[in-house]
């Protein structure tokens, strides 16, 4: 079986060759690597491959954990579904780092699944607290980085996850099958993924 990264290189290689062959292109990081830094085409293939691999891994793990949480906490799923129906534009999902979000030094009920704690009004309420407000620092809450070092795929990944969750919950209810399954552990790979991934069933919602 071929390595997964080889398959990713097969995807990016034609695009890299197409870009590399263009004599004129707008100012961008690819042009800088090619023209200013003299990075050869084979290295550009690897760079693009790593970028795509990182985008796939982080987005996939976020979607997996979203499905796990929705299935294990149907009341919260119902709230998200209601918000999707009410706003039409979908719901924003705020993700905090694993350890800070579960540290009772920052927030007393950290062991409870309360996604509402990351809504804007809750964030404003925490500003006066020197401990819980640390959850909302951009360097902690924004896993895509900031400024000139921000992840190139940040907006694409956020839109992808948001669109999938909104579309999924608009038409289906996510349930555990069987319902007796416990919350999964975390497998530490490039990103933390649920292990084992639970067995889920999508129940069509009545129109």
C-alpha span between 67 and 203 (Å, rounded): 13
Two structure tokens written together for 44? 């550009």
Two structure tokens written together for 162? 């948001």
Task: Output b/e per residue, 80-114; b: 16+ Cβ within 10 A.
Answer: bbeebeeeeebbebbbbeeebbeeeebbeebeeee
Two structure tokens written together for 95? 């993700």
84: nearest Cα among 10, 155, 172: 172
Q: Is 151 annotated as a binding residue?
A: yes
Cα torsion at 53, 56, 57, 62 (round to 10°)?
160
Two structure tokens written together for 107? 């927030």
Question: Directed axis angle between helix 74-87 and helix 154-171, to 10°?
Answer: 100
- Rg (Cα) of the chain, in Å, rounded? 20
Per the annotation, where are the binding residues for heme?
151
Annotated binding site: 151
């Amino acid at each position: 079986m071929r390595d997964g990264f080889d398959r990713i290189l097969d995807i990016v290689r034609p695009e890299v060759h197409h870009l590399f062959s263009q004599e004129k292109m707008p100012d961008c990081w690819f042009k800088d690597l090619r023209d200013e830094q003299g990075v050869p085409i084979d290295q550009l293939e690897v760079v693009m491959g790593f970028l795509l691999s990182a985008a796939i891994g982080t987005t996939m793990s976020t979607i997996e954990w979203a499905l796990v949480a929705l299935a294990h906490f149907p009341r919260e799923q119902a709230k998200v579904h209601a918000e999707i129906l009410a706003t039409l534009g979908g719901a924003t999902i705020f993700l905090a780092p694993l350890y800070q979000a579960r540290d009772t030094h920052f927030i007393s009920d950290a062991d409870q699944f309360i996604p509402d704690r990351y809504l804007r009004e809750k964030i404003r309420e925490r500003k006066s607290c020197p401990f819980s407000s640390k959850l909302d620092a951009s360097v902690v809450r924004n896993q895509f980085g900031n400024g000139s070092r921000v992840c190139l795929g940040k907006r694409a990944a956020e839109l992808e996850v948001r669109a999938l969750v909104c579309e999924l919950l608009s038409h289906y209810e996510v349930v555990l099958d069987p319902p007796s399954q416990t919350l999964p552990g975390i497998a530490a790979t490039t990103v933390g993924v649920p292990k084992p991934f639970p067995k889920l069933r999508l129940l069509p919602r009545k129109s």
